[in-house]
Amino acid sequence: MKFAIALFSAAHAPSSRRALLFAQAALAGGHEIVRLFFYQDGVYSASNNVVAPQDEQDIAHQWREFVSAHQLDSVVCIAAALRRGVLNQEEATRYQRSAVNLEAPWELSGLGQLHDATQAADRLICFGGP
């Protein structure tokens, strides 16, 4: 089965860990992840500036490792990212900001990428949200 996965909550939220565990289990079960889409507070999972307390799991780091290890298509919503100060080099330069906190394996793009993923996938699975 082909899955598109959308994450709407920050890395420290329980739903982010559930999404990561689901994605790991999907691949382990022989399924395909068409795209991971990070939206709303989910964009914080892609920020290089997220630091977890020592007594907590670093889910943002685990996401980065998982995406890199499996070479997954992982898109961060550009509008949500800009609103929350999550910037790659191009956007930091465009908006004259000094902080760059979004790098590979993440890609900034728009909601159209979520639409495309839902068209290519058998199922869209969403985690978190308001």
Mean pLDDT rounded to a whole number for the chain: 96
Q: Distance of alpha carbon 40 from its chain centroid, rounded?
A: 10
Number of domains in the chain: 1
**Phi, psi at 69, each rounded to 5°:** -60, -35
- Could you read off the pLDDT of 12-71 as tens digits, one per residue? 999 999 999 999 999 999 999 999 999 999 999 999 999 999 999 999 999 999 999 999
Structure confidence at residue 130 (pLDDT): 66
The residue length of the chain stands at: 130
Which active-site residues does the annotation give? 77
Domain of residue 45 covers: 2-127
Residue 100, domain CATH: 3.40.1260.10
Facing residues of 7 across strands? 38, 127
Using CA atoms, how far apart are residues 130 and 127, in angstroms rounded to an integer? 10
pTM summary value: 0.95
